[in-house]
Amino acid sequence: MKKNFALILLLSFAVSKNSSAQIVQPAHWSYTTEDLGNSEFNIMISCTLDNGWHIFSKDYVGISVPATFTLEKSDDFEVVGKLQEQGELIKEEIDLGSDKEMAMYYKGRVVFVQTVKLLKQDAVVKGTMDYMTCKEVCVPPATYEFEIKLHKN
């Protein structure tokens, strides 16, 4: 009985070790800032995608998840204008069987740009980018979190 238990335990460990799924992460995130003067800064959140993958535009409406940019509220800064996207936007009608939708997405690279105005000498801008990436299939939605320290000159 002890031999059978040990053998079952050993086989269970081998199967679970070999069947562990790899997490697919085709989106690679970074950020930079640009001092515009007059206490204003552009926050530029860049997404570089692995070959063949795409990310949906913030303006996409459909069955998948659009890119959603969120900043934590703070008395240290205010948002100026709307979030902009920089990249080659692809628009494609997708046939969903009984329905159709207009997919709007980016391949390769996209930069999300938001202008903020500092209300104090120093500010910490915290936020998230929620998104979904797809190739032949989509991976579950994910979140990129960032924290950016800004200083008036």
Q: What's the whole-model pTM score?
A: 0.83
Spatial distance between the Cα atoms of 40 and 117, rounded to a whole number of angstroms: 4
Look at residue 94 in the predicted model and tell me its pLDDT: 85
Which residues lie below 8 Å from residue 70, measured CB to CB, with a gap of 6+? Answer: 127, 128, 129, 130
The answer, yes or no, to whether residue 18 has pLDDT greater than 80, is: no
Q: Give mean pLDDT, residues 35-62.
A: 97
The answer, yes or no, to whether residue 5 has pLDDT greater than 80, is: no
Spatial distance between the Cα atoms of 148 and 129, rounded to a whole number of angstroms: 14
Q: What domains does the chain contain, in order, with CATH numbers?
A: 25-151 (2.60.40.1250)
Q: Give mean pLDDT, residues 33-58.
A: 98
